[in-house]
Amino acid sequence: MSALGDIAVVGLAVMGQNLILNMNDHGFKVVAFNRTVSKVDDFLEGPAKGTNVIGVRSIEEMVKALKKPRRVMLMVKAGGVVDEFIDAIAPHLEKGDIIIDGGNSNYDDSIRRTKSLAEKGLLFIGTGVSGGEEGARRGPSIMPGGDPRAWPHVKEIFQAIAAKAPDGLPCCDWVGEDGAGHYVKMTHNGIEYGDMQLICEAYQLMKEGLGMSADEMSAVFANWDEGDLDSYLIEITSEILGFKDDDGKALVEKILDTAGQKGTGKWTGISSLNLGVPVTLIGEAVFARCLSSIKDERVQASKILTGPKGKFSGDKKAFVQDIEQALLASKIVSYAQGFMLLREAAKEYKWNLNYGGIATMWRGGCIIRSVFLGKIKEAFDRNPGLSSLMVDPYFSGVLNKCQAAWRRVIATAVELGVPVPALTTALCFFDGYRSETLPHNLLQAQRDYFGAHSYERIDKPRGEFFHTNWTGRGGKVASSTYTV
């Protein structure tokens, strides 16, 4: 083995350390660096003891310890810290060397960094890495984008350390230019927010609507994990519900109900608004976290505002089965919306995204890994140009089959006063998406009435705009017809 390192990893927090150990297991020689150098010593004396990891104490030493082209992977906090490291490392590199950012960076930053480093002759990769600590150690899902010239130099390492889907394919492939990798990771996280919110709604319905215990719910989730909902998040939910605190009671019930968020779900919502894509479920999931976090206000309001007093009186077992179907149908809507967003982003940013490939990358290693993603891959294999997952023969069949249960769940939740924003928005989207006509003829009339914004007519060709003087008091001049 050469004395020089194959790749350097900067940042020895939990993700960085575990990625290094994973690379080492796969026969790569990794150079480890951290700004607080004592962490390098701790790592070498601790988890990296007995490995081939080379510890370095300065950027100069790190650069000297690497084979060419040099590969330097940053596993540091997203934001300004990434720029600080790039600015510190880049002057020590040579043309053709590669800087990889493996944090949860914003895709706009990755677009900017790809361009500014290319101007210096350096190749940038912005990559999503999903799977948390366990994924980083045993096989994450890796979503690299950036300068395509860099991909052949990192492909072997990334695909070796990535998780493998059930058919053996690595959960890592080239996503696309500049910010594409981080955009796909952002969308992954947005979908993660949606999945988690849906699961929380199912939990609240069972707990408050049906009065089920944590152990009973744990068993339900374990059972769902054997069927179409088989996924990492359902599996860990079952384990969380079954986990006992020191006093033997369910720990989950002692956790304060205020959700944190680091921003990737919000970015997904912002991007969907900017691109005009109705990604309603992720939006609701983000807002549900915001609502959860205004705990004091909710406590106050709970003393003033009342809700329904009625109790669930139906067949509990049948209703739990209904919830399973409502979850599955809502999940289809959420993923359909996520892929709609990716399609629009690909147009906007001129990325050539491979949707089946993205589903493959998400099949293993990442937080949203599931059997369901295999079905999505099959849908894109059947039709790579699929306009929406909802119209794929398999998924439309499931939606049509689940919808009666889905409607029962939402109707019951509304009657019981249990908030289910994600389940509801998914059904509203389903009903809107399958509607040949929506009430926006009236909305267009309102816009034209008060603002002369003009409208198109069903009896005239598209693109021809009309204005009516609705009151007899307005003028004949219409406002311009641009749409944002």
Active site residues: 185, 192
DSSP per residue, 304-320: H---------S-HHHHH
Which of 183, 395 has the CB closer to ligand 6PG?
183
Residue 244 is a binding residue for ligand 6PG (CB under 6 A): no
SS3 273: helix
Residue 105 is a binding residue for ligand 6PG (CB under 6 A): no
Residue 262 is a binding residue for ligand 6PG (CB under 6 A): yes
One of 52, 204, 223, 261 touching ligand 6PG (CB under 6 A) = 261
Distance (Å, whole) CA 17 – CA 154: 18
SS3 69: coil
Q: Which residue has the tokens 């399609």?
A: 343
Residue 255 is a binding residue for ligand 6PG (CB under 6 A): no
Which of 123, 366 has the CB closer to ligand 6PG?
366
Which of 109, 392 has the CB closer to ligand 6PG?
109
One of 17, 264, 325, 424 touching ligand 6PG (CB under 6 A) = 264
**HEC readout, 150-198:** HHHHHHHHHHHHCCECCCCCECECCCEECCHHHHHHHHHHHHHHHHHHH
Residue 131 is a binding residue for ligand 6PG (CB under 6 A): yes
Q: Which amino acid is at 274?
A: N
Smallest gap, in angstroms, from Cβ of residue 104 to ligand 6PG? 5
Q: Which residue has the tokens 């499931």?
A: 398
**DSSP-derived secondary structure letter, 143:** E
One of 22, 105, 110, 189 touching ligand 6PG (CB under 6 A) = 189
One of 281, 366, 376, 410 touching ligand 6PG (CB under 6 A) = 366
Residue 104 is a binding residue for ligand 6PG (CB under 6 A): yes
DSSP per residue, 55-123: E-SSHHHHHHTBPSSPEEEE-S-SSHHHHHHHHHHGGG--TT-EEEE-S---HHHHHHHHHHHHHTT-E
One of 59, 73, 341, 367 touching ligand 6PG (CB under 6 A) = 367
Residue 237 is a binding residue for ligand 6PG (CB under 6 A): no
Per this entry, what is the length of the chain? Answer: 484
Which of 114, 264 has the CB closer to ligand 6PG?
264
Positions in the binding site for ligand 6PG (CB under 6 A)? 104, 130-132, 189, 192, 260-262, 264-265, 366-367
